[in-house]
Amino acid sequence: MKNFKLILVFTIIAAFLLASCAKEKSYSYEVTGTSGSYSVTLQNADDNTQQWANVGNGWTYKWSQQGKRWLYVSAQNNRSSGNVTVRILINGKIIAENTSVGGYTIATVSGDY
């Protein structure tokens, strides 16, 4: 009986962990700064590289999915002055951020999240 209770406890814990891993998360990349013109490269929702040549301040790419994955976003300031900031957010919380200051500079963030 003692072994049965122990197995039951481990089964319940394993089921809880699996259920929590399977929850869908909201992912997003953000690009902001002071120049107003940026070129963006990112790892998209389908796990492919995607690019945009000229996006403005407050540009966002969003999707939802389950589980953990590798994320990447990079943005280049397209002007001779100013700055660019890139962010990775999960469920609205900033988990990675980088800023680059100066003309034509590039800010990048990536990681397994």
What structural domains does the chain harbor?
Answer: 24-112 (2.60.40.2880)
Q: What global pTM score does this model have?
A: 0.80
Is the pLDDT score of 8 beyond 60?
no
pLDDT, tens digit (0-9, with 9 covering 90-100), for 56-91 = 999 999 999 999 999 999 999 999 999 999 999 999
Average pLDDT over residues 24-46: 97
Residue 83 main-chain phi, psi, to 5 deg:
-140, 165
pLDDT cut 70: percent of the chain above it: 81
CB atoms closer than 10 angstroms to residue 29:
24
Q: Nearest CA to 32 among 80, 93, 90, 73?
A: 73
Q: Which residue has the higher pLDDT, 31 or 16?
A: 31
Give the per-residue pLDDT at 96: 98
